Structure formats: structure tokens, C-alpha cells
């Protein structure tokens, strides 16, 4: 996944590691990219932003398929339940963004009725 670092980052392993300066796009594994983005050290690259929008849409669709057992005490859908529907890992931040979208869409639908 492409990210844009907001701070200088060391990427790669051992002797193959390189420093990436803020603002320089770099490809990193998706799980690492999401951790860096969640911690505020990077933002999604241009291509990643499109992928993120598609992921959020997929999560919204997955939430609609969940049963009541798949929601936590806080009312939010469980990340693991969504992952099982999607067949891929997501972050809690992805879930939260999709959950807000889902609730907004549900409210709009209720208002139209």
C-alpha cells in the first residue's frame, strides 16, 4: 500500500532499510501502512485513498449482513465479525469510519420513510 510519510521513516529490513523523508510516497505492506496511518505518522497515498474508499464501502455492506451477535456492548460491529464477512483484515479505524457511514445511511433511509 502506498503511503505518504508525515515524518522521516525507516522502511525495509536490516541492511536493506532506507530512510523515507516526509512527503515522499513509499510502498509498504498494508498492515504496516495502516498502523502508521492510525498512529498519525503517515497518510494514505493517492492510490491508497481510492482503495480506502472502496474498503469502507465494502465494510458498510458487510455490516448490513451481520447478525445481532456480531455487535459489541458499545453497539458497534465487531472487527472480527466484519473480517469474517470480508475475508480480509481491517482496522478499528476502518470499522469506525464505515460504522459512521452506515449509521448516516440508515438515518437517511428512516427519514425517507
More confident residue, 50 or 62: 62
Give me the pLDDT at residue 57, please: 93
| pLDDT at 50 > cutoff 60 | no
Give me the pLDDT at residue 71, please: 97
Give me the pLDDT at residue 37, please: 87
| pLDDT cut 70: percent of the chain above it | 96
Give me the pLDDT at residue 27, please: 87
| pLDDT at 47 > cutoff 70 | no
The answer to whether 102 and 76 have CB atoms below 8 angstroms apart is no
How far apart (Å, rounded) are the C-alpha atoms in residues 54 and 23?
Answer: 24
Computed over every residue of the chain, the mean pLDDT equals: 88
Amino acid at each position: 500500500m502506498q503511503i505518504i510519510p508525515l515524518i522521516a521513516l525507516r522502511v525495509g529490513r536490516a541492511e536493506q532499510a532506507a530512510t523515507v523523508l516526509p512527503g515522499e510516497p513509499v510502498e509498504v505492506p498494508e498492515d504496516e501502512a495502516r498502523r502508521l496511518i492510525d498512529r498519525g505518522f503517515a497518510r494514505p497515498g493517492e492510490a491508497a485513498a481510492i482503495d480506502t474508499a472502496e474498503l469502507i464501502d465494502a465494510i458498510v455492506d458487510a455490516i448490513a449482513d451481520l447478525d445481532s451477535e456480531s455487535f459489541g456492548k458499545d453497539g458497534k460491529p465487531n472487527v472480527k465479525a466484519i473480517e469474517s464477512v470480508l475475508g480480509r483484515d481491517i482496522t478499528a479505524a476502518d470499522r469506525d469510519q464505515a460504522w459512521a457511514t452506515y449509521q448516516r445511511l440508515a438515518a437517511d433511509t428512516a427519514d425517507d420513510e
